[in-house]
Amino acid sequence: PVLVVDYGAQYAQLIARRVREANVYSEIVPHTHTTAQLLAKNPAAIILSGGPSSVYAEGAPNVGADLFEAGIPVLGICYGFQAMAAALGGTVAKTGAREYGATHVTLTGESRSILAATPASQNTWMSHGDSVLEAPAGFDVLASSAGAPVAAFANEEKCLFGVQWHPEVKHSEFGQKVLENFLFNGAKLERNWTTGNILDEQVDRIREQIGDAQVICGLSGGVDSAVAAALVQRAVGDQLTCVFVNHGLLREGEAEQVELDFVASTGAKLYVANEQDRFLNALSGVSDPETKRKIIGREFIRAFEEAERAIMAEAASEGEEIKFLVQGTLYPDVVESGGGEGAANIKSHHNVGGLPEDLRFELVEPLRALFKDEVRAVGAQLGLPAEIVGRQPFPGPGLGIRIVGEITGERLELLRKADAIARAELTAAGLDNEVWQMPVVLLADVRSVGVMGDGRTYGHPIVLRPVSSEDAMTADWSRLPYDLLARISNRITNEVDGVNRVVLDVTSKPPGTIEWE
């Protein structure tokens, strides 16, 4: 693999994703790994990420100079670039010329090296206080900026390179080119991480792990569980039974996507537990968001376990035993991060795919090495419908946390209609890719006066919450066109009984969260 050493900022995952976009497999490792530990992973190349420290600060993570003697191609980025410079005898100092954000760099000298086929003057994205003043002996200076006399360097002979800017960030115009120059010209790697290869490799692994045992997989309606199940189905066929607990909090058409489209496109065996009434009863009278989440989580586990027992009993009657459970864990959930201070608990995010801890089964996690975009690509390759693989994030507790107030069957019906209209209009406007997700929220505890056909109405507002985001950690409200908003508002107030206003949420995150509960 190409190892990305994480110096603690948020960039390591992005670097690993960009390397994989270039069809080269990469993994993230914490900066606490020693040179020996890094080499033990047999890296084809190493990328040192950016990070918040100053190389001369006390306790700053350092790079052993021995790493640069190991004959492995290395690219240092930002902090990694400075750490490389310092370790090899260059000069790094605080010049007072900090550069944050869009920064102009000019290529210098004769050698282009990893900047080959990029213009002599280009826009990059930087974030640094210290700068490299002098490159180590044996290095060519490739570029400079106003605040960084040495903004990029190379030692071709030793296959060591560095850039002050962040090539992994899209605002660096030629960033991907620089990374690819490093991977293919510098480190001479091959492009072999493709969707087809990922699929074949995972299928082999799953077969090896499961053998001829029986396996079950819970489907939530989301991308991850669908792709995980489809992969396992491709690997072991009818040894897999999928379980779909319908909690009645899904949006219009989503249960059908699982029960009809998923089954039609994969041929998987599906056990459906229709538990709509059970969830409605358990949630009756509850309006506190955290209590709703806990109840939904608890009932989900119970319902799943009941389904499990029914399937196990059936298997037992045929002399079979279920040994494995599929989980759609993704790579970002398992990365050992170099940053890692725990985030504050704002909401007890409950993932309805989440399962009991006293597991009787061995886990199968076929997506454990994959980023979300790779999961979608594998899903498409497996023939899953576009509505499933392209689905925007949807919270496990579903519409349950999009009704502010008590959840009732009637309110769910109303919200489902409003949500379907909003989604259909967004799609018709061709703007699905412009928004990260668009919660549609019913303020069930609020009423306002309206007028319709000369009569007074006293109905509920619907909130539209379209947001743009990279990872849901921060978000901004999407500037949807007024005429689209007008169409959605018009249709919802006309077509959904009980709703007489549509309002737009114009709050970023922070301070707002994406969901209302």
Q: Name the binding residues for ATP.
A: 220-226
Nearest residue (CB) to ligand XMP, 213 versus 472 = 472
Give CA–CA dist 388/405, Å, rounded: 29
Q: How far is the CB of 220 from ligand XMP (least distance, A)?
A: 9
Backbone angles phi, psi at 148, to 5 degrees: -130, 95
Contact 360, 9 (CB under 8 A): no
Residue-wise DSSP of 86-127: HHTT-EEEEEEEEEEEEEEEEE-SS--GGGTTS-SEEEEEEE
Contact 269, 320 (CB under 8 A): no
Nearest residue (CB) to ligand XMP, 269 versus 509 = 509
Candidates 3, 2, 4, 8; CA nearest to 337 is 8
C-alpha pair distances (Å), 378 with each of 19, 169, 200, 375: 17, 24, 10, 5
Q: How far is the CB of 130 from ligand XMP (least distance, A)?
A: 34
What distance separates the 2 farthest-apart alpha carbons in the chain? 84
Three-state secondary structure of 329-384:
CCHHHHCCCCCCCCCCCCCCCCCCCCCCCCCCCEEECCCCCCCHHHHHHHHHHCCC
Nearest residue (CB) to ligand XMP, 350 versus 423 = 350
Q: How far is the CB of 350 from ligand XMP (least distance, A)?
A: 5
Give CA–CA dist 416/422, Å, rounded: 10
Give CA–CA dist 410/399, Å, rounded: 12
C-alpha pair distances (Å), 264 with each of 121, 254, 258, 474: 53, 15, 9, 37
Contact 478, 468 (CB under 8 A): yes
Nearest residue (CB) to ligand XMP, 221 versus 338 = 221
Give CA–CA dist 286/283, Å, rounded: 6
* Binding-site residues from annotation: 220-226
| 240: Cβ contacts below 8 Å, ≥ 6 apart | 214, 215, 216, 217, 229, 232, 233, 268, 269, 326
Give CA–CA dist 430/482, Å, rounded: 15
Count the helix, strand and coil residues of the chain and give each as a percent rounded to the nearest 5: 35, 25, 40
Please state the length of the chain: 517
Q: How far is the CB of 245 from ligand XMP (least distance, A)?
A: 14
Q: How far is the CB of 16 from ligand XMP (least distance, A)?
A: 22
Q: How far is the CB of 514 from ligand XMP (least distance, A)?
A: 3
Q: Which two tokens stand for residue 196?
A: 């087809």
Contact 296, 303 (CB under 8 A): no
| Residue whose structure tokens are 């990260």 | 436
> Do the bridges between strand 2-6 and strand 26-30 make them parallel or antiparallel, or are there none, so unpaired?
parallel
Nearest residue (CB) to ligand XMP, 118 versus 437 = 437
Q: How far is the CB of 242 from ligand XMP (least distance, A)?
A: 19
Return the active site residues: 78, 166, 168
Q: How far is the CB of 507 from ligand XMP (least distance, A)?
A: 11
Give CA–CA dist 209/227, Å, rounded: 18
Nearest residue (CB) to ligand XMP, 77 versus 401 = 401
Q: Which two tokens stand for residue 30?
A: 């914490």
Nearest residue (CB) to ligand XMP, 152 versus 403 = 403
Q: Which residues bind ligand XMP (CB under 6 A)?
A: 293, 347, 349-351, 393, 395-397, 437, 472, 509, 513-515
